[in-house]
């Protein structure tokens, strides 16, 4: 079976440690029609946002590291009180976002099917 890796280090492990040559790198991408910096199209440096914002993928799957991201956010929020969190998930395998702090903007992505 052909495998798809989302990071180069995963593809390297498959090839180098397991001898699996049937693996392709397909890095995660961003829909630039939905998420973009208008300044980048004007070839000018991007300015700072009025409210510092971080984003994260929300999942209740333990190995996804959501707990680590939330701990990092908690530490950063002590230094940046108005820090804003935007979280998103595919909704598959994720419970309601009960672990997210109050004030989080949560978006459940709709997966496109053909």
How confident is the model over 23-79, as pLDDT tens digits?
Answer: 999 987 777 666 666 666 666 666 677 889 998 988 888 888 888 999 999 999 999
Encode pLDDT of 40-52 as tens digits: 666 666 667 788 9
DSSP labels, 8-71: HHHHHHHHHTT----EEE------TTTS--HHHHTTSPPPPPSS-EEEEE----GGG-HHHHHH
pTM higher than 0.75 for the full model? no
């Amino acid at each position: 079976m052909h495998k798809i890796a989302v990071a180069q280090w995963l593809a390297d492990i498959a090839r180098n440690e397991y001898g699996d040559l049937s693996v392709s790198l397909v890095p995660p991408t961003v829909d630039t029609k939905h998420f973009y910096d208008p300044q980048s199209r004007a070839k000018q440096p991007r300015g700072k946002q009025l409210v510092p914002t971080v984003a994260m993928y929300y999942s209740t799957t333990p190995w996804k590291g959501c707990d680590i991201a939330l701990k990092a956010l908690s530490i950063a929020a002590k230094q940046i009180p108005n820090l804003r969190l935007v979280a998103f998930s595919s909704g598959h395998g994720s419970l309601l976002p009960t672990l997210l702090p109050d004030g989080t903007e949560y978006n459940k992505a709709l997966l496109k099917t053909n």
